[in-house]
Amino acid sequence: MLHTEVRKSSAAVKISNSSFIDVSKLNIVILAAGLGKRMHSMLPKVLHPLAGKPLLAHVLDTARALSPRQICVVYGHGGEAVPKALEDAAVVWVRQEPQLGTGHALMQALPHLSQEGMTLVLYGDVPLTGVETLEKLISTAANETFALLTVELTDPSGYGRIVRSNMGAVVAIVEEKDATESQRGIHEINTGIMVIPNRYLQGWLHKLENNNAQKEYYLTDVVAMAVRDGIRVESAHPLHDWETTGVNSKVQLADLERIYQGEYAKKLLEHGVTLADPCRIDIRGSLSCGRDVTIDVGCIFEGDVRLDDGVRVGAYTILKNVKVAAGSAIAPFSLIEASEIGKDCRIGPYARIRPGSRLADEVHIGNFVEVKNSVIAHGSKANHLSYIGDAVIGKSVNIGAGTITCNYDGANKHQTIIEDNVFVGSDTQLVAPVKVTQGSTIGAGSTITRDTPPETLTLSRARQMSVEGWKRPVKKPRN
């Protein structure tokens, strides 16, 4: 069974064959106060969704995977909407008001940081940084080293440049608006992600000045302070450049969505899942797959979805918090939510299975059939144009086309019970609460309002009549 998820970190990060960093002394601060003007939205930037959850939620998941001593989120624009959307008792929320730059933001978190160890700075709008990359960066920060995550870009426009000495040592970070012409020619850029020794952090932050084009307190200025104080500044690089890409516009958000989905699809393929087109699948949660699973184009998986061996998912199907047992096939354009599907079932096309439904093995739910909060036992079938709501259906039951369980009286829901080996004829209404007992047959076109006797044919129809001499109306001639 393949299960793709964030890899959990151990309690210590390895530096070399003989030394470790104790991450119990690691503080993580996530800067998430930005406005995001280019998003053109009332929603705070860090709450915009990527793969079905907010950008900031991705960063928090990565931070938790490192098992730090403390996680602190600095928020600002959007006010209380940000912590409210991501309530977590284990996270310290600190508001930055007003927003005066990254250095000022980190200063707001100082009261919550330990005096020893180190602080890892992450960003709420940089969602795809991997745990392995961050472990590598933390490992670089041995013996009170200042560690920066940097990357080489063909086009470094808009980013702060890494300035190095003739010996290759990092000496400063210069923001593009403050850079000289020669510094703008540097292609190694600052990602903003860094690990800072806590012993020096408070002193450096209080020395920051806003003598720059933006009149802001740049966190990057502490690099030059570290060099001046004789603290070694080292750099590490991500496994993939896109891990450090931030979101400032809907275009960038869409680009990252495709990267995320492409990487997820690649993992599925590497573990033997057959994808009709890796570019046309969306996973907005976690997807677990057994052997010989086949997924057609345009499918969406939300929440926690598990597909066991041999499951086939047809085109443009949506599965949300669903378990599908081995050998089942879901035909195109079906929607299944918060339900369990047994072995060797046949679902769809155009079927809808709503929350609270449990289908046993070899159940057939056909085209334009809706099932809600119902239990259907082994071998039962509803192949055409039916609604089954709040029902318990036994084994080997046949539900005819156009059958409806009338479960709602305008105020309350009521249950329909259909026992084993029942045959329900087409165009039948079962008015709940009602029980159709074992072996019953319901004649087509019936409205059933009382419990039926077992092994009996039950009918409820108006008497058929033929009217002699009746003439069908004809259209009047036009003048």
> Which are the catalytic amino acids?
384
- How far apart (Å, rounded) are the C-alpha atoms in residues 389 and 387? 6
Helix (H, G, I), strand (E, B) or coil at 50: strand
- How far apart (Å, rounded) are the C-alpha atoms in residues 220 and 183? 15
- In angstroms and rounded to an integer, the radius of gyration of the C-alpha atoms of the chain is 31
Give, in order, the Cα–Cα distances in Å from 277 to each of 114, 118, 311. Answer: 49, 44, 17
Quote the DSSP letter at residue 90: T
Dihedral pair phi/psi, residue 310, rounded to 5° = 75, 10
What is the dihedral angle through the alpha carbons of 373, 441, 422, 430, rounded to the nearest 10 degrees?
Answer: 10
- How far apart (Å, rounded) are the C-alpha atoms in residues 361 and 343? 4
Helix (H, G, I), strand (E, B) or coil at 441: strand
Neighbouring residues of 39: CB distance < 8 A, sequence distance ≥ 6: 45, 48, 247, 248, 249, 250, 253
Q: Residue 445, by phi and psi: left (phi above 0), alpha (psi -120 to 50) or beta?
A: left
- How far apart (Å, rounded) are the C-alpha atoms in residues 333 and 317? 5
* Exposure string over 194-215, b if 16+ CB within 10 A, otherwise e: bbbbbebbeebbeebeeeeeee
Hey, CA dihedral for 8, 10, 15, 16, is it positive or negative? Answer: negative
Name the token pair of 388. Answer: 């089954």
- How far apart (Å, rounded) are the C-alpha atoms in residues 73 and 91? 7
- How far apart (Å, rounded) are the C-alpha atoms in residues 442 and 459? 6
Name the token pair of 164. Answer: 């190095």
Look at strands 170-174 and 161-164 and give their pairing. antiparallel
Q: Are 225 and 103 in contact (CB under 8 A)?
A: no
**Among candidate residues 356, 294, 282, the one with its CA nearest the CA of residue 327:** 294
- How far apart (Å, rounded) are the C-alpha atoms in residues 175 and 190? 9
